């Protein structure tokens, strides 16, 4: 009881609310780094039409100079030039290497892992040597021969990372020997650098024991330097507070027992709240006494929704290449993204979740790979093995992964499944009965032979029994599959948000009209299909939740009037070209719309340049266009020839 009259109390509370709201608005406008809520968790901000960044800590190599110099010297040795030499250093504590590009014709880094697949690794090697996508070959032997043709006569350095060997499994030895066999055609002086947790894997590959190098731990001084590199990055504190933070940081570093991963994650977490009070309050946490405990501590300080998104990543295999756009689409489809304001886009919030995981070192930048759809290189991310263990633990029975050689039972209440190896019998007899399943991702390309078309169609029909599916993703190959008509039962997947049925250009797909009853669909991806027949007609207007403009790419039989809203979500000319408006020759009226004042005029102009409509278009309306620039196709360089009405507002 405040003792104040009710009316006066209401006025006071209103004044406090206005003050708090104003303060929040100021903080948002300033976009101050490291703004946290009262429990030390970092506030996850959202921004519209923002530039995509990778918010991970800056990379820096610290310590182990002697180990590095020893390995580089061995790589340059002139003895053994007639054979590929094999070296090792401990996988858990490996250090960065100097660039070796000037010494070798080809340098490749390949993550092998515990359950590696020769076909996938040889394809990755082929793409690394040629810089082009690896074609689909008839057999592993043909692929190996093509790879050897590209390697023949070249001096190469292979880094085979995270190689495992089970001494009780005789098949492991044979598979590892096959793994390095393409190196036999290389030029003298080629090298293989292998990282492993055990010496047995290296001996199996043919390495002499004296050439197996265990990497020493960082000394205390170097470890502290690394920890403080993450903990005090971008520090904006007084000299007095910095000295105190350094003393507290030294105590924290001692508890982490030399774990580089723990130093990175704990340091990154502390860097978000660089206050003496917070650092002191966390110094004596018992969780800090071992690596997994430190990871748990860092995990608990993530925002609740970010934690959920991280746990979901446990469905992917170890060292799986995670793409930003793919994660965003999946998280949105699963309903993991929460917005606090009407104007916030879920995709923008999801991108900020990724930035939060990068900043906390739960995701790490893995490298770049070529995106054939965008025709440019894009970043991909990976998750450290120990963090994968953590993700699996917090996900529990909700997430499940089926990889090569799996012969166990699938939890009946599982929600999210990643299938690494296609097995039709498993899909029809086991997975189709998982009535609580929300996600089914089949990662291996399904190769349909001429005598298997009906079996494949039957299998797909059985998958439509999974009525709670939100995500269904598969890739289909095989020239035998000339046509495929989706069954009407696809209309029973009322909760479906993300549907990917990726096929080659030679396959004709037919969507039934009932597809327009999937009101929640956000992503519909048909791969390279250029012959997509859709009998939905006017029902297309029901699909109001389609969020990816490129899904219109192959709907070239659309007729009459088409309205497309939400171009503020499109960020480049290349993305706009994916809509392929020029190929929709039966359209007579087109309306293109941005949200008012949602994007810069420069971005709008670039996007409109990629939205050139068919030459047969008669009516064109462009709404909320703020740029003073008009696209080239409006100036007579292509574009509509029979335009009767043009309205730009």
DSSP assignment of 545-594 equals T---GGGGTT-TT--EEEEEE-GGG--SHHHHHTT-GGG-TTEEEEEEE-
In angstroms, how far is CA 477 from the centroid of its own chain? 23
DSSP assignment of 4-21 equals S-HHHHHHHHHHHHHHHH
Local mean pLDDT, 10-residue blocks, the chain (649 residues): 47 46 40 42 45 55 78 70 43 44 77 80 87 80 91 87 74 81 84 82 77 78 86 80 87 84 86 84 77 89 93 92 93 91 84 92 85 72 92 94 83 93 84 92 83 84 92 84 87 92 84 86 82 69 64 66 78 83 84 80 88 87 87 80 85
Rounded Cα distance between 476 and 90, Å, is 39
Side-chain-side CA neighbours of 218 within 13 Å: the count stands at 24
- Going by C-alpha positions, the residue among 247, 235, 277 that lies closest to residue 38 is 277
Convert the pLDDT of each residue in 162-195 to its tens digit. 887 777 666 777 888 888 888 888 888 888 888 8
Is residue 427 a contact partner of residue 457, using CB atoms and an 8 Å limit? no
**Per-residue pLDDT, 86:** 44
Q: What is the 3-state secondary structure (H, E, C) of 385-443?
A: HHHHHHHHHHHHHHEEEECCCCCCCCCCCCCEEEECCCCHHHHHHCHHHCCCCCEEEEC
Is residue 123 a contact partner of residue 444, using CB atoms and an 8 Å limit? no
- Coil, helix or strand at residue 629: coil
Helix axes 260-271 and 291-300, enclosed angle (nearest 10): 20
Cross-strand partners of 439: 416, 471
Rounded Cα distance between 120 and 105, Å, is 22
DSSP assignment of 84-148 equals -EEEEEEGGG-------TTT-SEEEEEEEETT--HHHHHHHHHHHHHSSPPP--SSHHHHHHHHH
**If you count them, how many residues does the chain have?**
649
Rounded Cα distance between 183 and 180, Å, is 6
* CA 318, 324, 328, 329 torsion-angle sign: negative
């Amino acid at each position: 009881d405040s003792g104040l009259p009710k009316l006066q109390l209401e006025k006071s509370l209103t004044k406090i609310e206005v003050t708090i709201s104003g303060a929040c608005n100021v903080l948002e406008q300033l976009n101050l780094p490291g703004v946290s809520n009262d429990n030390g968790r970092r506030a996850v901000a959202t921004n519209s039409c923002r530039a995509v960044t990778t918010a991970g800590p800056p990379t820096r190599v610290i310590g182990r100079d002697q180990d590095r110099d020893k390995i580089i010297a061995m790589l340059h040795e002139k003895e053994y030039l007639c054979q590929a030499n094999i070296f090792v250093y401990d996988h858990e504590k490996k250090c960065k290497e100097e660039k070796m590009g000037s010494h070798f014709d080809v340098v490749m880094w390949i993550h092998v892992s515990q359950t590696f697949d020769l076909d996938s690794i040889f394809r990755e090697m082929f793409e690394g040597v040629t810089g082009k996508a690896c074609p689909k070959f008839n057999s592993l032997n043909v692929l190996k021969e093509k790879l050897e043709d590209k390697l023949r006569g070249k001096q190469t350095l292979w880094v085979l990372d995270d190689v495992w060997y089970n001494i009780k499994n005789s098949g492991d030895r044979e598979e590892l020997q096959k793994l390095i066999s393409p190196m036999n055609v290389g030029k003298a002086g080629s090298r293989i650098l292998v990282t492993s947790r055990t010496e047995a894997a290296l001996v199996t590959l043919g390495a002499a024991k004296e050439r197996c190098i265990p990497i020493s731990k960082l000394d205390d001084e170097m470890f502290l330097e690394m920890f403080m590199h993450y903990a005090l990055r971008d520090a904006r504190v007084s000299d007095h507070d910095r000295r105190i933070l350094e003393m507290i940081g030294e105590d924290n570093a001692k508890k982490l027992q030399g774990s580089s991963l723990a130093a990175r994650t704990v340091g990154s977490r502390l860097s978000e709240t660089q206050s003496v009070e917070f650092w002191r309050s966390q110094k004596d946490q018992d969780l800090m006494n071992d690596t997994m405990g430190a990871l748990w501590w860092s995990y608990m300080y993530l925002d609740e929704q970010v934690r959920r998104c991280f746990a979901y990543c446990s469905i992917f295999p170890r060292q799986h290449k995670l793409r930003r756009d793919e994660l965003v689409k999946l998280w949105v489809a699963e309903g993991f993204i929460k917005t606090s304001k009407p104007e916030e886009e879920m995709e923008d919030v999801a991108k900020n979740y990724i930035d939060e995981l990068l900043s906390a070192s739960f995701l790490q930048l893995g490298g770049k790979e070529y995106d054939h759809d965008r025709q440019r290189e894009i970043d991909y991310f990976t998750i450290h093995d120990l963090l994968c263990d953590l993700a699996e633990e917090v996900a529990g029975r909700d997430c499940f992964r089926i990889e090569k050689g799996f012969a166990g039972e699938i939890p009946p209440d599982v929600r999210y499944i990643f299938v690494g190896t296609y097995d039709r019998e498993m899909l029809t007899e086991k997975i189709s009965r998982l009535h609580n399943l929300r996600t089914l991702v089949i990662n291996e390309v399904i190769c349909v032979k001429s005598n298997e078309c009906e079996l494949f169609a039957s299998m797909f029909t059985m998958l439509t029994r999974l009525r709670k599916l939100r995500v269904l993703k598969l890739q289909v190959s095989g020239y035998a599959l000339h046509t495929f008509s989706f069954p009407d039962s696809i209309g029973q997947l009322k909760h479906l948000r993300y549907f990917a049925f990726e096929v080659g250009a030679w396959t004709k797909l037919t969507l039934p009209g009932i597809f327009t009853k999937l009101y929640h669909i956000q992503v519909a991806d048909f791969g390279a299909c250029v012959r997509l027949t859709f009998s939905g007609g006017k029902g297309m207007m029901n699909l109001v939740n389609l969020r990816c403009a490129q899904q219109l790419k192959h709907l070239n039989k659309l007729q009459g009037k088409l309205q497309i809203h939400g171009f503020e979500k499109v960020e480049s000319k290349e993305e706009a070209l994916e809509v392929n408006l020029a190929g929709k020759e039966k359209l007579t009226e087109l309306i293109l719309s941005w949200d008012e004042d949602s994007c810069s005029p420069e971005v709008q102009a670039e996007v409109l340049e990629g939205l050139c409509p068919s030459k047969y278009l008669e009516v064109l309306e462009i709404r909320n266009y703020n740029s003073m620039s008009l696209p080239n196709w409006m100036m007579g360089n292509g574009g509509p020839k029979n335009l009767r009405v043009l309205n730009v507002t």
